[in-house]
Amino acid sequence: TREPYIYYNTYGHQERDRWWNGNWWSGVPYPTNQENILKEIDVAHRMGVDVYVIDGGWFQKTGDWTTADAARFPNGLKDIKAKLDSYGMKLGLWIGPTLAAESSKVVLEHPEWRMTWQGSIVLREQSRGAEKVDQMCLASGYAGYLADELIRLAKETGARYFKWDMIHQYQCDDPR
């Protein structure tokens, strides 16, 4: 029942662009976009890849995992999924399940789900000029919310693989 799959993750392209070309979200076109992804899928198919995972950059906002970035993917992920289907490949998506931008829907609607320790919000990160990102506590109502969001995302996009990443090992002592 557990068939092994070969998967490709676009992070390799992102890192190559960063280190070889000096580009790292610094005003240059980000390599995770529909045009580049469609080209890479052709190559991945020729290589025998079963699952094509789109790493960071596919979503509109960290924490709002059900909305593709319209600037990078004008038709959402429909064209990507159609191309993968034509090759019999599966769609995978990267998420940072404990991350949520301070203006994301989940943080605005449920700030009580943010990870706290001794009454303080844990590790508010800000990188590459983006807004601050909160850590969300998986031992709160957020766990059910995230599960519902991923189920919706799977139904809407056809994604069958989610790469969870950037899960910090901090603790949450919030009584909620």
- Mean pLDDT of all residues belonging to the chain: 86
Determine the Cα–Cα distance for residues 163 and 150; give it in Å rounded to an integer. 11
pLDDT (tens digit per residue) in 115-164: 888 888 876 766 555 678 888 988 899 999 999 999 999 999 999 999 99
Residue 52's pLDDT is what? 96
**Ramachandran area for residue 74 (φ above 0: left; ψ -120 to 50: alpha; else beta):** alpha
Determine the Cα–Cα distance for residues 164 and 141; give it in Å rounded to an integer. 19
C-beta of residue 173 within 8 angstroms of C-beta of residue 151: no
pLDDT (tens digit per residue) in 5-41: 998 888 776 666 666 666 655 544 567 889 989 999 9
Determine the Cα–Cα distance for residues 94 and 32; give it in Å rounded to an integer. 12
Q: What is the token pair recorded at 140? A: 């709160």
Interhelix angle for 34-47 vs 78-86, to 10°? 20
* Global confidence as pTM: 0.85
Determine the Cα–Cα distance for residues 40 and 36; give it in Å rounded to an integer. 6
* Helix/strand/coil for 76: strand
- Helices H / strands E in the chain, number of each: 5, 11
Q: Which amino acid would we find at residue 88?
A: G
